[in-house]
Amino acid sequence: MDNKNYGRLKVSSAPHMVSPTDTQRVMGMVLIALIPAFAVGIYQFGYRAVTVTAVCVASCVVFEYLLNKIMKKPQTIGDLSAVLTGVLLAFNMPSGLSYLICIVGALAAIVVVKGLFGGLGQNLTNPAVTARVFLFIAFATDMTTWPTARGQHLDAVTAATPLGELSHEGINAVTTSNLDLFLGNVNGCIGEISALALIIGGLFLIWKKVITWHIPVCFIATVFVLGLIWGGVTGCGALHGAIFQICAGGLMLGAFFCATDYVTSPTLPMGKIIFGIGCGLFTMLIRLFASYPEGVSFAILLMNILTPYIDKFCEGRMFKAPKAAKGGDENGK
Amino acid sequence: MGKHLNSVKVSHEKHTAACATEIMAIPETVCISMSQHIGAPCQPQVKKGDAVKVGQVIGDTDAFVSAPIHSSVSGTVKEISTVRSMMGGQDTVVVIETDGKQEVWEEVKPPVINDMKDFIAAIRASGLVGLGGASFPTHIKLNPKNLDEVETLIVNAAECEPFITSDHRLMLENTTEIVEGILAVMKYLNLKAAHIGVEENKPDAIEALNKKIAELGHSDDVKVNVLRARYPQGAERVMIYEILGKTLNAGQLPAELGVVLSNVTTIAFIGQYLKTGRPLTTKRITVDGNAVNRPTNIIVPIGARLSDVAAACGGYKAEPKKIIMGGPMMGRAVFSDEVPIVKNNNAILFFDGNQALIPEETACIKCGKCTRACPFNLLPVSIAAAYDRKDADKLDALKVMQCMECGSCSFICPARRPLSFINKMAKGYLKEATSK
C-alpha cells in the first residue's frame, strides 16, 4: 500500500530514509551484551556451557524455520530473535542438563509460546522464561542438579545453589560470600551466575539505547529494598542481605535481559516502572515465602501476563489530559 | 534549555554544504503551475501567444488565501494546459517558451512602503509564500488578527532535513538580506525581538549571522539560537518549544503564543524584495542523490522541469529510481521528472536504486522507539491498531491530530513499519468521521 511504481520511478510515502537499526540489529546487540556472561559460564562450567547453548540455539532456529515452512509464513530466522531465545533459554539452565531436555525446552519456547501465538511480537509471555518454568516443573530434578563451578574450588560434582541453601536450611547455611556471588564463583544456571558480567552487558544495552533503565533499575531496586528489610529481620545484616538478594540466582539475568523483552513488557516508561517493581515484589515473595528457592522466572512470567493491562492503564493515564485540538496540521501539505 | 522534545538522530548527509550556489541556465520552456500555495489556485492572467517578461504577473485571484504568480522568464506563452498534480488532482499550468533574453518586466521596481499596510500589500504583490515547505501565503502569516499581542519573530533556519543545504548556503551567501529582512519585519510589525534558530552543525552560518547582526548594531534584539542537530528541529512547533519553551498545539497559530515564525529563505526574500522589487521567480535548491552527476546548490527559475534541473547538474549518472521534492524525511516522491519546480521547493533528490530501496516491513516488536522518537509522545502503534479497526473515538483519544507527519516514528522503527503514513491515513479518517 505504501510503495508504487510509476513508470520507472518509485513513489512512496515519506520518510524516504530509515535508521540503520532494524530488528536484526537490536537482537544482535542483545546477543553481544550477553557475551561477558557467556564467557563466565564457559570458564566456570567448561565445554558443557558451550554445547548446551549450541543445542538450544540450533533447535530454536530449526523449530522456527520448520514452523514458518509448515505455516507457509515468510522466513523469519534472519531476525535473530530465535537465536536470542535459544541463548536465553540455555543461560537459564544448569550446564549438566541433558540435550534432549534442551530440545524440549526449545520446542516449548519457539513453537508453543511464540509460534502458535502468531510469531514474533504476538507472544504474550517471554518464550525463554516460559519454557524454563515449564522445564523447571516438568523436569524438576534435572533442572535443579547444579554442577559445581570451577571458581568454587569444591571436590563435589554437584552442590546446592546459595538460594537453595537459604530456602532449605536458612541464611546461616549459605557458604558463598557476596563477592563470589558478584563475580560468579558460584554454581547455578549457565548465564546467571556472574552479576558483574550481566551488569556490564546491561549497561551496554542501556548505553546503546536498546533498553531503557526503567525495568532493570526498578526490578533490582525493589529486590534490594526488600533485601534490606529481610537482612535486618533475619539478623544477617541489612546491607549484606540486600546485596546477597540482588546478586544471587537469576536476578541480574532476569532484570537486564528477560524482563526487558520488548514484546512482553510495557511500552511506556510508567508501565516499565510498574512492571519492574512488580517483578521485584513477586521475586522476593517467592524467594522468602514460597517453596521454590528462586522466583525470578515466575515473577517475570506473571508480570508478562499483566503487561497488556499495565499498557492499557498507562495509555489511559497518558491521554487523560486536555483533549486534542480539532483541526489542522500546520505542516500538512 | 534543559528540556527537549523527543527527536531522532538522522544521518545528516550534507554533501553539498560547501557547494557555492550556481545559477541555472534558462531552459527552453518552463511550466509554471497556478497552484503553488495553500489556498485558492490562481487564474492565468495571460493567454496563448502573449509575450511575457521576467517578473510579470501571469496568475492571480481575488481569493484572500492566495498569492500571485509571476513569470520567471521572458518569452512567449506556448499554451495553458493542465498537468496531474502531486496530490493526484489537475493543476492549471502556463507553459512559456523562453527567448533567453530574460528581459525584466517594466513594472518591477522597489516598493514604496510607509506603514504596515503598504508592507503587507507589497508582500502580497511579491508572490511570497512560506518557502520552508508549507507554502502558506506570507502576507497572511505576517498579518495575524492579534498583531498587537505578537512580540517575537522566530526565523527558522534549522534545516534539519538530511541532504538539504540550500538554507545553509543562503545564510553564508545572503547574510545581509536575512538580517535586513528580519529588521523590516520587526519594524513594520512592531516586534520586540527576533530569534534565528540554527542547528549547531552549521557553525560558519552562525558566525556569519552573528557578525552581520553586530555590524548592523542589533545584537540586543536579534539573537541567533544554536539548536541541537536533531530531527525534527525545524518543525514549527518543535522550534517554538526549543527557543521559547512554549507549547503550540496542533491547530493553534503561533500568533496565539505571541510569535510569528518564518523560514529563513522567506525572510531573506523580504530583505531582497524591499531593495529590488523583484518578485519571487527563482528558487535556490539543493540537488543531491546518487543518481545525479554533480550534486550542488543551484538557483533555478520557478517552472523549470526536474529533468532540466538534473541536466544542469551534469545529468543522470545512474537511472533515478526515486525523485524526491524536498528532504528525505518529509519530502514527496514524484512520479515523473517532468514535474516543474514550484515556489516551496528547497531540494530535489535523485535517488538511485540503492537509495530508493525500501526495507521490507516485519513484525512489530513493541519496542516503543516510535513513541520515544515522537516530539509529542504520540503512540503510533496504538494509533495504527485503532486505525485498523476504524475506531474514531480511540483515534481522537490518542490525539492523532497532533501528528505533524515528521516521519520520526517511521524512521526509527526497527520493523520498518510505515507508521507516519498510517498516522496520516488515520488523521484523514478521523477528519472524515468527525465531519459527518
pLDDT bin (cut points 50, 70, 90) of residue A165 is confident
- Name the β-bridge partners of B52: B75
Instruction: Inspect the interface and report whether the beta carbons of A25 and B414 lie closer than 8 Å.
Output: yes
pLDDT, position B212:
93
Bridge-partner residues for B348, per DSSP? Answer: B287, B325
Give the CATH number for residue A107. 1.10.3430
Residues in Cβ contact with B289 at an 8 Å cutoff, skipping those fewer than 6 apart: B163, B295, B320, B324, B348, B349, B350, B351, B352, B355
Residue A244 lies in a domain: yes
Residues in chain B closer than 8 A to A122 (CB atoms): 363
d(CA B185, CA B235): 21
In a domain, A266, yes or no: yes
Residue A172 — pLDDT band, cuts 50, 70, 90?
confident
In contact, B297 and B166? CB cutoff 8 Å:
yes
Domain B116-276 fold: Rossmann fold (3.40.50)
**Does residue A18 sit within a domain?**
no
pTM of the predicted structure, to 2 decimals: 0.89
Beta-carbon pairs below 8 A across chains A and B: 182
Q: What confidence tens digit (pLDDT) does each residue in A180-232 have? A: 899 999 989 999 999 999 999 999 999 999 999 999 999 999 999 999 999 99
Q: Is the pLDDT of residue A322 over 60?
A: no
Which residue of A19, A26, A84, A210 is the best one to mutate when testing the B interface, meaning the one whose CB has the most B CBs within 10 A? Answer: A19
A293 in a structural domain: yes
Cis-peptide, bond into residue B232, ω within 30° of zero: yes
Domain boundaries, chain B: 116-276, 369-435
Whether A333 maps to a domain, the answer reads no
Residue A330 lies in a domain: no
Q: What is the DSSP string of B302-354?
A: TT-BHHHHHHHTT-BSS--SEEEES-TTT-EEES-TTPBP-TT--EEEEE-HH
DSSP A189: B
Which range of residues forms the domain containing residue A138? 23-315
Neighbours of B413 (CB within 10 A): 28
What is the rounded distance in angstroms from the CA atom of residue A42 to the CA atom of residue A40? 5
- Chain B residue numbers with beta carbons less than 8 Å from the beta carbon of A2 are 358, 418, 421
Chain B: closest CA distance from residue A71 (Å): 16
Are B251 and A9 inside 8 Å of each other by CB? no
Number of domains chain A is built from: 1
H/E stretch holding B22 reads strand B22-23
CA-nearest residue to A211 within chain B is B367
Q: Are B309 and B337 in contact (CB under 8 A)?
A: no
Locate the chain A residue with the closest alpha carbon to B261.
A330
Contact across the interface for B366 and A262, Cβ inside 8 Å? yes
- pLDDT of chain B, 436 residues: tens digit per residue: 457 888 999 999 999 999 999 999 999 999 999 988 888 889 999 999 999 999 999 999 988 888 999 999 999 999 999 887 776 778 899 999 999 888 999 888 899 998 889 999 999 999 999 888 778 899 998 888 888 899 999 999 999 999 999 999 999 999 999 999 999 999 999 999 999 999 999 999 999 999 999 999 988 999 999 999 999 998 988 999 999 988 888 888 889 999 999 999 999 999 999 999 999 999 999 999 999 999 999 999 999 999 999 999 999 998 899 999 999 999 989 888 888 999 989 999 999 988 888 888 999 999 999 999 999 989 999 999 999 999 999 999 899 999 999 999 999 999 999 999 999 999 999 999 888 7
pLDDT band at A332 (very low <50, low <70, confident <90, very high): very low
